[in-house]
Chains A and B, each alone.
Chain A
């Protein structure tokens, strides 16, 4: 969940629309529930789309988080 939390927190800072796609699945990058539905495994290749007023400024920070090794980390331990 940690990488997603980071992405969402980052995306929410910007006004533009953020969309992350995993194959045919598309998710609003500001919505936890949609991001969970992406069903992306570790090492999956995803596509980042940004559009809107501050889109250019959002691109780099978001891309960095996605590219981080954390995203490819094994899933954090299940709790309860």
Chain B
């Protein structure tokens, strides 16, 4: 049993068989075979060894001709590995004594050796694990014939394990078949993490190396609440997790019946609970959970992993899909919030940025790439003729920037007018408050927009100057930090003074321990991941504004994030004892 810790990006606890996604997406169909099949298995194995050795010799001859014996020798070494009597004995031993299927035996033995090689510090052979994997693939290819299974061919629910998942792989995940996933790479804001949340599949990322320690079919536990991956759990651990899973499910099913109840405090104040989405189908989640609308439609996925920029039609198609699902409920569409580094079609020669988070991203990028910006604006405006659409600008850091965005918007409106295309002339315009300068200037910015959306993720990072994906400083990051709270308060007050709407759309809004605080500070709108809507609603319905106000006041007197979080946890448990908070 091995316990690995990573970043929890999508909640839920799952126990299931591993599906290891390596570069060739091999899937080991069965771990064991019946005893009367053993002779057949051994025969298959021998044939595979012979065929693979044949391949290696052939390759050697061919490469000898083409590039010389120095390079051909590599395949000679491969042949020797395949023909290695010690390896063959080990693999056959597993089949004979433990009834392992040929594929499983090959994979287990190879991966064990690869791991052992990787732990060699000196010498030239530490990097030779790549050769072992090569042989493994070779043998599996022969054993499986052309029956290489892909993610699409899954026949039973699995936990997908990989180094990383590409956008197309994640997009094709079927939540019914992929019950969880875990990756070596990735951070909280990586597209893998976003997808997991969007698809509501429990997931942990940023685990570091582990894929080579496991074979397809092995049992694993993914704890998407705590960010833990357990490989090959022992029976005691399995039992413990089964219990946790059942407890969580009970709590969750209690929450489902909340769908049709309003998000209203005990003393009768209606709070708007909106949903954050990335993809059109997620709008269904919002509706299913009884959201009052979409408070944040992140549009980055239209750009990620594509070879060309999305056209106006691509944008419009996605927006209209969402609007159809949301009916008359409001939908806030945020313009592109990506950095230059994420762009495959970036035509501007941008030298690699030393500080991408302080660099050319979001509206800064858009203001330098007006075609990009205007295309998206056109689509948003056109969509506004079909539903309650609002536009939101990310990462605005100065008044000038905001005014520039509004000017471009005005130009696009004129263009559409000239072309006779319908749109809402009074399209509400809002800005994200996520850069500290914007929070500090919120009093001035409030005059120029219809609403604010506080992006607490980035606001917290920029304010505390800490990268939450950097484990060495991640502990500094907390939305409950007194500095962040003061900035939020500033923004809320500015909104109240100029009578504009203010909501919080960062993760903070979806964490139940902050609900009382946010309500008490004066917020009346929260935009959260659809998964969290029932839980937040429950907190709202268990609280009075008076209580919330007192809690907020107390919290604002505390000096450290730790004190704030502890206090809030305590207060939340007081009004809702059965809540499960980490």
Q: Chain A interface (Cβ within 8 Å of chain B)?
A: 1-2, 4-5, 8-9, 28, 30-34, 36-41, 75-80
Contacts and interface: CB of A to CB of B under 8 A. Distances in A.
Given A41-B122, A79-B71, A31 B85 contact: yes
A75 B84 contact: no
B117 interface: yes
Contacts of B86: 28, 30-31, 33-34
22 contacts: A1-B77, A2-B73, A5-B77, A8-B80, A9-B80, A30-B86, A31-B87, A32-B77, A32-B87, A33-B113, A36-B125, A36-B128, A37-B113, A37-B120, A38-B123, A39-B122, A41-B122, A41-B123, A78-B127, A79-B71, A79-B74, A80-B130
- The secondary-structure label for the interface of chain A is loop
Interface in B5-24: none
Nearest to B71: A79
Interface string B75-89: 011001100111100
Nearest to A41: B123
A31 B113 CA distance: 13
B474 interface: no
Contacts of A36: 117, 125, 128
A5 B73 contact: yes
Nearest to B129: A36
Contact of B87 (A1, A8, A33): A33
* Nearest 3 Cβ contacts at the A-B interface: A31-B86, A39-B123, A75-B124
A75 to B, nearest CB: 4
Nearest to A27: B86
Nearest to A42: B124
Contacts of A1: 73-74, 77
B87 A39 contact: no
B84 A37 contact: no
Given A39-B120, A39-B122, A33 B81 contact: yes
Contacts of A31: 84-87
B49 to A, nearest CB: 13
Contacts of A38: 123, 125
Interface of B: 70-71, 73-74, 76-77, 80-81, 84-87, 113, 116-117, 120, 122-128, 130, 132
B85 A76 contact: no
Contact of A37 (B70, B117, B127, B130): B117
A32 B117 CA distance: 12
B216 to A, nearest CB: 22
A79 B70 CA distance: 11
A76 B120 contact: no
Contact of A32 (B84, B120, B124, B126): B84
- The secondary-structure label for the interface of chain B is helix
Contacts of B123: 38-41
A76 B122 contact: no
Given A30-B85, A38-B125, A41-B122, 18 more contacts: A1-B73, A1-B74, A2-B73, A4-B77, A5-B76, A5-B77, A8-B80, A32-B77, A32-B87, A33-B81, A33-B84, A33-B86, A33-B113, A37-B125, A39-B126, A76-B70, A78-B127, A79-B71
Contacts of A9: 80
Contacts of B132: 33
A5 B21 CA distance: 32
A6 to B, nearest CB: 10
B69 to A, nearest CB: 9
A21 B185 CA distance: 38
Contacts of B113: 33, 37
B112 to A, nearest CB: 10
Interface centre among B116, B123, B127 (most CB of A within 10 A): B123
Contacts of A2: 73
A41 B122 CA distance: 7
A8 B126 CA distance: 19
A44 to B, nearest CB: 8
A37 B116 contact: yes
A32 B80 contact: yes
B277 to A, nearest CB: 42
A77 B116 CA distance: 22
Interface centre among A33, A78, A79 (most CB of B within 10 A): A33
Contacts of B84: 31-33
B83 to A, nearest CB: 8
Nearest to A36: B125
A53 to B, nearest CB: 18
Contacts of A40: 123
Contacts of B76: 5
Nearest to B89: A31
A77 to B, nearest CB: 8
Contacts of B124: 41, 75
A36 B120 CA distance: 10
B81 A39 contact: no
Nearest to B77: A1
Nearest to B120: A39
A79 to B, nearest CB: 5
A76 B73 contact: yes
Contacts of A4: 77
A19 to B, nearest CB: 12
A42 B68 CA distance: 24
